[in-house]
Amino acid sequence: MSLPLLQIITGSTRPGRAGAAVASWFADHARTHGGFEVELVDLAEVDLPMFDEPNHPMTGNYVNEHTRRWSARVSRAQAYVLVTPEYNNGYPAVLKNALDYLNREWRHKAVGFVSYGGVSAGTRATGQLKQVVTTLRMVPVQDAVHIPFIAQHIGEDGTFQATDAVVASAKKLLDELLLVGTALLPLHAPVTPDDGS
Ligand SMILES: Cc1cc2nc3c(=O)[nH]c(=O)nc-3n(C[C@H](O)[C@H](O)[C@H](O)COP(=O)(O)O)c2cc1C
């Protein structure tokens, strides 16, 4: 049987961001973990405009090609990890925009969080994101990676240097995501336009 696909979504897009290094580090861990097929999804590359669909995403009735592409990509995954910084006590607008574009594609799928920031380690961004993902009927796992003082953990070569505690939290997150994500598999349904809510 093939492994479930885990998409690791990089939630910051600005030049010089720490997010790319954190996401790349976590993807390496996820591949080593062995429970998932792993795909990095960089929202800077996905490059969605601000939400511009006329219909509620719940209908799956999309008029824009960029939305159809985003829908097809997200639909492929069985679980997600959102890699999020903390911006002004919350999460980046680009991440909310990417979530808002779709609806049933996310539904009943497990989601975990890798957050980073200053002293708060992105925990406030994560708390707010949980409200959003449960509204989309995603199932957040409690185990998470929270990285404080992110700037101190980016090496001269631009890679993320994890502490032992952070490495341990990544393993727990992946174990839990596999457990919950596998249990949810029977609930996943393909998204077709206009088949209700
Ligand atoms: C606009 C902005 C707002 C920020 N607000 C917070 C904040 O509220 N709490 C925090 O811990 N760090 C905050 N930071 C620091 C970021 O968490 C840190 O710069 C991080 O590297 C940003 O992620 P990125 O490099 O992937 O963009 C803020 C940074 C920016 C650019």
Q: What proportion of the chain, given as a percentage, has pLDDT over 70?
A: 97
By most ligand atoms within 8 Å of CB, the mutation choice from 88, 129, 146 for ligand 1 is 88
Please give the full DSSP string across 49-102, using - where no structure is assigned: PS---SS-GGG-----HHHHHHHHHHHT-SEEEEEEE-BTTB--HHHHHHHHT-
How confident is the model at residue 197, as a pLDDT?
A: 55
By the 8 A CB rule, do 116 and 44 touch?
A: no
Backbone angles phi, psi at 58, to 5 degrees: -60, -25
Using the mean position of ligand 1's atoms as its centre, give its distance from the Cα of residue 60 in Å: 33
- More reliable by pLDDT, 162 or 192: 162
By most ligand atoms within 8 Å of CB, the mutation choice from 26, 43, 86 for ligand 1 is 86
The CB density around residue 178, as the number of other CB atoms within 10 Å, is 22
- Cα separation, 71 vs 127, in Å, equals 25
Domain boundaries of the chain, sorted by first residue: 5-187
| Ligand 1 pocket member 88 (CB < 6 A) | yes
What number is the average pLDDT over the span 149-154?
97
Using the mean position of ligand 1's atoms as its centre, give its distance from the Cα of residue 63 in Å: 34
pLDDT at 194 over 80: no
Q: Residue 48's pLDDT band (boundaries 50, 70, 90)?
A: very high
Q: 68-90: per-residue pLDDT in tens? A: 999 999 999 999 999 999 999 99
What number is the average pLDDT over the span 97-114?
98
- Cα separation, 99 vs 194, in Å, equals 19
Residue 37 C-beta-side C-alpha neighbours within 13 Å: 8
How confident is the model at residue 62, as a pLDDT?
A: 97
Using the mean position of ligand 1's atoms as its centre, give its distance from the Cα of residue 141 in Å: 24
How confident is the model at residue 66, as a pLDDT?
A: 98
- More reliable by pLDDT, 76 or 189: 76
Query: Could you tell me the end-to-end alpha-carbon distance of the chain, in angstroms, rounded to an integer?
Result: 30
Using the mean position of ligand 1's atoms as its centre, give its distance from the Cα of residue 135 in Å: 25
In CATH terms, the fold of domain 5-187 is Rossmann fold (3.40.50)
CA angle centred on 114, ends 120 and 82, rounded to 5°: 120
**Ligand 1 atom index nearest CA of 20:** 26
How confident is the model at residue 36, as a pLDDT?
A: 98
Using the mean position of ligand 1's atoms as its centre, give its distance from the Cα of residue 13 in Å: 12
